[in-house]
Structure 1
Amino acid sequence: MYKKHQLYATLLLTSVLAACSTSFGSSSKHIEHHYAFGRPATSIASVAPVEVKPQRGQSGPENVAHIVYFDFDSYTVRPVDRGIVESHAQWLRSHPGQSLMLQGHTDVRGGSEYNLALGQKRAESVRKSLQILGVDSSKVEAVSYGKERLADPGTSEAAHQRNRRVEFEYR
C-alpha cells in the first residue's frame, strides 16, 4: 500500500513540475526576458503610447516621471524609459539617506498568481537596473500588487498599457 501511495505522489509531483515548466499562454514561440538594460523584448502587439508627465511635489527627482511602463508579458525596462531609471539612480546616489519602494503592477489579463509574479519581476527589474547604476540595493524595496491596483479600469489596449507599470514611491 505504501509503495502505491508513493507512486501516486511521484506521478503528481511530475505532473505539477511539468505544468510549471510551461509558460502562461504558451506557444511554440519562446520569448526571452532580460533584466535591467538587456536586449529589448519583442512586443506581441503594438504598444499604445503613454504620456509620461513629470511629478511635482513628490519626494525624489523633480521633473522626472515616477512611473516606468512595460510591454505586454514583459519585465524588461523599455529603452524609452531608461532615462527615467537613470535620473532616479542619480538622485538616489546624491541622497543616500532616502529609501524607495518600487511597486510593480500588471493589467487585468491573466490569473492573480501569474500577475503577482509578473509585477514582482517588473519591480525587481527596475531595482536591478538601479543597482547596476550604483544605487545601494538595501535602500530599494520591490513589491508587487499584480492587477489589484489598476491605474485605468478600461479594457482597451491603451488602458492595459497604463496598468503595466512600476511606480517609484520615496519614503
Structure 2
Amino acid sequence: MTMHRFALAALAAAALAGCSTTKLDEPAAKAPVETRPAAPTPAPVNTVPESKVQSVDLGAELTKAVADKRVVYFDFDSFVVKDEYRGLVDAHAKRLLQIKTQKLSLEGHADDRGSREYNLALGQKRAEAVAQQLTLAGVPAAQAEPVSFGKERPAVQGTGEAVWAKNRRVEIKDK
C-alpha cells in the first residue's frame, strides 16, 4: 500500500509541477479602450418638415384624362369590346371608382344596315358589353346605364365602310 501511496504522491507532484503559478497580488492587464467623441444628439422626433407636395384631386385628374376619350368602336355585326378599347373602359372604371357619385350613360349605336329593331337590339348589346367591362373592373352596376339608339343617331351621314365604322359605337357620357 505504501507503494500505491508513493506512486499517487509522485503522480500528484508531477501534475502540480506542470501547472504555472499565478500571482493574485498583480493587477490584471487592462484591455485597450478606444475613446470616441460623443454622437450628436438627434433632432426631436416631433418636428416634421413641411411638405411641399401639393394634394391632387384624383377624380378631377382622371376626368381630364378621359375627357376626349369617350367612344368605343365595334366591328360589323359585333358587340365584343375590342382589346384596343379595354384601356379606355378601364380608365373610365378608375374614375367611377374614385368618384362614387358619378354616373354614366352608355349609348349604343349601329350603322344603317339592317332593320330598326335589329339595330336597336345590337346597340343595346354593345352598351351592355361596355357596362359589363366596367362591372368586371369593380364599378357598381348602378353607376352605368346602357341605352340603345340603334341606327337613329348616326355620327356620320352617308354610306361605305368608313362611314359605317364610325357609326358602330358606344358613346360614354356623364349624367
TM-score range, shorter chain: 0.5 to 0.7
1: CA distance, partners of 2:157 / 2:113: 12
Kindly report which structure 2 residues correspond to 1:1-171, keeping only aligned pairs within 5 A, or say none.
61-64=63-66, 65-171=69-175
Task: Tell me, yes or no, if the aligned pair for 1:105 and 1:145 is still in contact at 8 Å.
Answer: yes
2: CA distance, partners of 1:62 / 1:167: 17
2: CA distance, partners of 1:91 / 1:63: 9
Query: Identity of aligned pairs, percent?
Result: 50
Using the TM superposition, give the Cα deviation of residue 140 of structure 1 relative to its aligned residue in structure 2, in angstroms: 1.0
Task: Tell me, yes or no, if the aligned pair for 1:61 and 1:87 is still in contact at 8 Å.
Answer: no
Q: Give the 3-state SS of the residue equivalent to 1:114 in structure 2.
A: helix
Q: Give the 3-state SS of the residue equivalent to 1:77 in structure 2.
A: coil
* Structure 2 match to 1:57: none
TM-score normalised by L of structure 2: 0.62
2: CA distance, partners of 1:92 / 1:159: 31
Using the TM superposition, give the Cα deviation of residue 139 of structure 1 relative to its aligned residue in structure 2, in angstroms: 1.4
Q: Give the 3-state SS of the residue equivalent to 1:124 in structure 2.
A: helix
Over alpha carbons, which structure has the higher Rg?
2
- Return 5+ residue gaps in structure 1 as ranges: 1-59
2: CA distance, partners of 1:110 / 1:62: 37
Task: Give the counterpart letter for 1:61 in structure 2.
Answer: T
Counting matched residue pairs gives: 112
Using the TM superposition, give the Cα deviation of residue 123 of structure 1 relative to its aligned residue in structure 2, in angstroms: 0.1
Using the TM superposition, give the Cα deviation of residue 63 of structure 1 relative to its aligned residue in structure 2, in angstroms: 3.5
